Structure formats: structure tokens, C-alpha cells
Amino acid sequence: MNEKKPDNNLIVATSPHVHAPINIQKVMGEVLIALIPAVIASLYFFRLYAFKVLFIATASSVFFEYIWQKVNKQPIRINDLSAALTGILLALTLPPTIPWWMIIIGSMVSVILGKQVFGGLGHNPFNPALVGRAFLQVSWPQAMTTWVTPFDAVSTATPLAIKKLGLQEVIPSYFDLFLGNCSGSLGETSALALILGGIFLIKREHIFAITPFTYIITFIIGILAFGQDVLFHVFSGGLMLGAFFMATDPVTTPMSKQGKFIFGLGCGILTVLIRLKGGFPEGVCFSILIMNMTVPLIDKYTIPKPFGVKKG
């Protein structure tokens, strides 16, 4: 902006003339770093199954981003790592045994329908990875709810499904749920790994603690209100992945702290209602997508008062 070169070759531009050592690639890179514990946990518990899902989702997400930008004659920006991040996040929401072609379709939906059709990074109203997952869930519900046990990959149901449908299977201990030693999506299983990543993101100031905090607290209060097993519900399913990595996606969540609080509150209430009263055993994905829709409205009514304007 306003850049021009006068005769003496001095570069003229407006202040500031220095910039912090940060760019989009570094931000996305640090979110990927925060996902490393969850990725390692998924590889540990689901071995080659996890590797297959992670690899196909990431590679095809980047591929579809590249193709879209190429076809539309846009600058190629796969280096900013946002497509790779979408791919990894999508993979972490998928069951280990999902067929390879569904992963590719999911990635395509995530990147193209979830993000690029709206104008690319920064313009998408919905979390791209969750758009992909929701698409797969309603298109192939069978494959999206086929689960296996860790290590030996024996067919089983998720702890949430066991509980909801009253199946005759053993529910894992709280400790196994916390570590991720249970059936479920790749990255939804290990609460420990996700919390570690979340703390990293908060420390590095990429997300505000208020979103996951409000989400989880609201969720706990909701579960208690229905007289259900709190520890079981908190550590099973996709709550941690959703709270730390999906509900904090800056593009699709409110800007202000009050907005983030309302967003977390809404996600918590919806997740409880879907899990306990709805048709699905898990409600994190749809809760966040529904709350994504409310973001422009929340943003409109939560513009904070600036410095020097009386608060309250």
C-alpha cells in the first residue's frame, strides 16, 4: 500500500517499518505442532489405520486446495499450511477403518465446499474440517459409525454409543478414556493429548482460553443437570478436540471475549442436548457447526467499548 519508488531509490511506505517475526504459515505451523500429541496418540492406538487416514486426508486436502487455486488462476498458497491443517483436523474426526475414497471425498468437501467456495482462508463461515465430517456422516452413516478397538482393531462400538444404546459391551475405565485407550475417531480418543495441545495453543496466544473453558464448564454443568456420569462424558467422544481445536478456529468463531463466551456456552448446551436427547451418540461436530452460523450475529452485538469509554 502506498509503495512507490522515487528517483533516488528510497523505498517509501507507511509506518510501522518493522514487523513481528510472524506470518500465516507460522501460525498454522504452530497449530500443527499443537496437534502432534494427538497425532502420535492416534498412531500409537490405531497404528497403520491411523497413518492411512492421516496421510490420505492431508495429502488430498492440499491437493484439492492446489487444484482449486490452479483452476481459478489464483496464487498458489498451499505453503500457508491451512489446507494441511484442515486435512489433519478432518482425519482426527474420522474412524480408523473408513474406506480410503471416503477420506478423499471428505477432504474435497472440506477444502472446496467448506472453504474455497466462500473465497478461501478467512472467508468461510463454517469450520472446513467439520463440514467435511458432517458431509461424510450424513452420506455414509454406516462407515462413519464403524469403530474398532485400539491395537488389535476388533469391531466394537464407541463408549458413547455403548452407553446411549445400552449395548452389552464393556465401558472402558475413566483412565483409559483419558489416555485414549478406547474406540473412537483417530483424535477424539485421547483427552490427554488434546489438552496438551490446547495448553500449547493458549500459551502461544493462538487461542483464547475462554472458549474451551466455557465450552467444557457448560458441558459439565449440563451433564450434571441431567444426572449423568460427568467424567465419562468429558473424556469420551470429541469434546476435547472440539473445544480446543474446532471451537477456537478464529475464522469461524466470534472476535470478542464476550462473543467467545457466548459461543462456548452455546456449544456446551447443544452438545449436551444432542448427546443426551438427540438421535446421535455424539454432538460436538453439529453443535459447533450450528454455533458457527450465529457468529455474525454474536459479533454484531459484542463489540467491546474501547479504552476511555465508560465500561458497564
Partner 1 sequence: MKNLFTFYGGVHPPDQKNTSNHPIEEMPIPEKVVIPLIQHTGIPSKPLVSLGDTVLENQKIAEAAGHISVPIHSSVSGKVTDIRAFLHPVIGKPVESIVIECDGKHRVFKPEKTHVDYYRYSPKDLIQVIKDAGIVGLGGAAFPTHVKLSPPKDVIINNIIINGAECEPFLTADDRLMREYSKEVIEGTKIIMYIMDAMKGFVAIEDNKQPAIEIFKKIVFNEPNIDLAVLPTHYPQGAEKQLIKVLLNREVPSGGLPLHVGVVVDNVGTAYSINRAVKEGENLYNRIVTVAGNGIETPKNIKVRVGTLISDIAKFCGGTTKDLAQVIMGGPMMGIAQTSLDVPVLKGTSGILFFTKNDIIDRQYFDCFRCGKCIRVCPMELFPNALSIYIENGRIDEAKAFHPLDCIECGCCAYTCPAQRPIVQQIKWAKTQINKK
Binding test (CB under 8 A) with partner 1, winner from 227, 277, 305, 312: 305
Alpha-carbon span 241 to 212, nearest angstrom: 10
Give the HSE-up count for residue 174: Cα atoms under 13 Å, Cβ half-sphere.
6
Q: Would you count residue 304 as binding partner 1 (CB under 8 A)? A: yes
Q: Of 80 and 188, which has the nearer Cβ to partner 1?
A: 80
Q: Could you count the other beta carbons within 10 Å of the beta carbon of residue 4?
A: 8
Residues between 77 and 136 that touch partner 1 (CB under 8 A): 77, 80, 82, 119-123
Question: Which neighbouring-strand residues pair with 274?
Answer: none
What's 266-282 look like in SS3? HHHHHHHHHHHHCCCCC
Residues 186 to 215: which contact partner 1 by CB under 8 A? 205-206, 208
* Choice between 277 and 310, CB closer to partner 1: 310
Using rule CB under 8 A, residue 26 touches partner 1: yes
CB-based burial label for 10 (10 Å; 0-12, 13-18, 19+): exposed
- Letters for 222-261 (x = contact with partner 1 by CB under 8 A, - = none) are ----------------------------xx---xx-----
Phi-psi region of 169 (alpha: psi -120 to 50; beta: other; left: phi over 0): beta
Determine if 168 is a binding residue for partner 1 (CB under 8 A): no
Residue 226: how many other CB atoms lie within 10 Å: 12
Nearer to partner 1, 74 or 173 (CB): 74
Residues 274-303 that bind partner 1 (CB under 8 A): 299, 303
Judge whether 287 and 267 are in contact, CB under 8 Å.
Answer: yes
Q: Which of 166, 279, 306, 312 binds partner 1 (CB under 8 A)?
A: 306
- Asked if residue 308 binds partner 1 (CB under 8 A), the reply is yes
- Contacting positions for partner 1 (CB under 8 A): 1-3, 6, 8-20, 22-24, 26-27, 77, 80, 82, 119-123, 205-206, 208, 250-251, 255-256, 299, 303-310
